[in-house]
Amino acid sequence: MSVSNIDRAREAGRAARPASIKVWDPFVRVFHWSLVALFAIAWFSADEWDRAHEVSGYAIAGLIAMRLVWGLIGTQHARFSDFVYRPSTVIAYLNDSVFLRAKRHIGHNPAGGAMVVALLASLAVAVGTGIISVSDRFWGVEWVEEVHEVASYLTLGLVVAHVLGVVLASLQHRENLVRSMITGWKRKNDH
Ligand code: HEM
Ligand code: HEM
């Protein structure tokens, strides 16, 4: 085989493999999997082990604060401007998802983006009320404890919907979104 043939064969091999694109930067990936671990610790330590509960909760508060900053100055698909859509677009996307005709997105799809906002907001209420519930001013105040509990259960419900959404989108577009959140890479071509 001449040199040019080898080159051609190499190029063909390269073209046959689906091109990949880096989507999630290291911050987003470390943020995500730390959040998963810390949420599990906060959840299972509630009413069981105060120290672990509070420390994991404070760590979640720190992660949320950093994610908010990263949403403004981070890489392309980490930015809120990349995945926060108007409600009508989110509803149209959910409707398309039900009929398995939702468009594939390289970053978060409109429903996934709305879920990110809902998760961050619900987590913020849970940690916010958790933190003030151990302060002198709000210690033992009933509404604070109630809001803390409701926000925590709401977050758990959102997490269940979030994981189901990830599974549905992965099946529909024949890709492993969980692996992408680990490696950062996704298939480039849009079909
Ligand atoms: C084992 C369970 C979980 C799996 C498999 C999972 C999987 C994923 C995947 C695949 C994405 C990217 C979605 C996309 O491609 O658009 C994602 C994003 C996200 N997940 Fe999860 N997730 C899990 C648990 C959680 C939990 C417990 C929370 C919060 C309490 C959470 C919060 C988030 C957030 C905030 C994002 C957006 C990431 C970002 O843009 O910074 N996830 N998750
Ligand atoms: C995302 C983070 C958090 C989650 C998911 C969470 C979840 C929960 C849950 C499920 C309970 C049990 C409620 C009940 O059975 O009455 C609880 C109780 C409690 N949490 Fe958290 N929590 C979080 C963060 C925090 C933080 C940051 C603090 C304080 C620094 C805190 C302080 C407390 C306290 C003092 C209680 C017992 C009082 C009560 O019943 O409300 N939590 N938490």
**Does residue 36's CB lie within 6 angstroms of at least one atom of ligand 1?**
yes
Where does 46-188 have alpha helices with state H?
50-73, 80-83, 87-98, 110-133, 142-172, 177-183
Atom 8 of ligand 2, nearest CA residue: 46
Nearest CA residue ID for atom 40, ligand 2: 145
pLDDT tens digit string along 6-34? Answer: 455 455 555 556 789 999 999 999 999 99
pLDDT at 18: 72
> d(Cα 147, Cα 16) in Å, to the nearest integer?
54
Q: Is 123 close to ligand 2, i.e. is its CB under 6 Å away?
A: yes
- pLDDT of res. 12: 53
Q: Which two tokens stand for residue 168?
A: 């549905």
Which of 23, 181, 182, 185 for mutating ligand 1's site (highest number of atoms within 8 Å of CB)?
A: 181
Ligand with minimal distance to 93 CA: 1
5 has a pLDDT exceeding 60: no
Can you tell me the distance from the alpha carbon of 143 to that of 113, in angstroms, rounded to the nearest whole number? 30
Token couple for 41 = 């610790």
pLDDT of 34-73, one tens digit each?
Answer: 999 999 999 999 999 999 999 999 999 999 999 999 999 9
**Do the Cβ atoms of 155 and 119 come closer than 8 Å?**
yes
Would the CB of 114 count as within 6 Å of ligand 1? no
Give every CB contact of residue 78 below 8 A, 6+ residues apart in sequence: 24, 25, 27, 28, 70, 71
31 lines ligand 1 (CB under 6 A): yes
Q: From 115, 122, 156, 162, give the residue whose CB has the most ligand 1 atoms within 8 Å, as the site to mutate.
A: 162
What does pTM read for this prediction? Answer: 0.91
Q: What is the pLDDT of residue 26?
A: 98
Domain ranges of the chain: 26-187
Q: What pLDDT score does 9 carry?
A: 47
Residue 134 and residue 58 in contact, taking contact as beta carbons nearer than 8 Å: no
161 Cα: distance to centroid of ligand 2 (angstroms): 21
154 alpha carbon – ligand 1 mean position (Å): 16
In this structure, are residues 39 and 155 in contact, taking their beta carbons and an 8 Å threshold? yes
Question: Buried b / exposed e across 120-144, counting CB within 10 Å, b at 16+?
Answer: bebbbbbbbbbbebeeeeeeeeeeb
pLDDT at residue 190 in the model:
57
Q: For every residue of 35-56, which 3-state class applies, written as one string? A: HHHHHHHHHHHCCCCHHHHHHH
Q: Which residues contact 79 (CB under 8 A, 6 or more apart)?
A: 71, 72
Q: What is the dihedral of CA 52, 53, 59, 62, to 10 degrees?
A: -160
Q: Read out DSSP for 103-131?
A: PP-SS--HHHHHHHHHHHHHHHHHHHHHH
- Ligand 2 close to Cβ of residue 38 (< 6 A): no
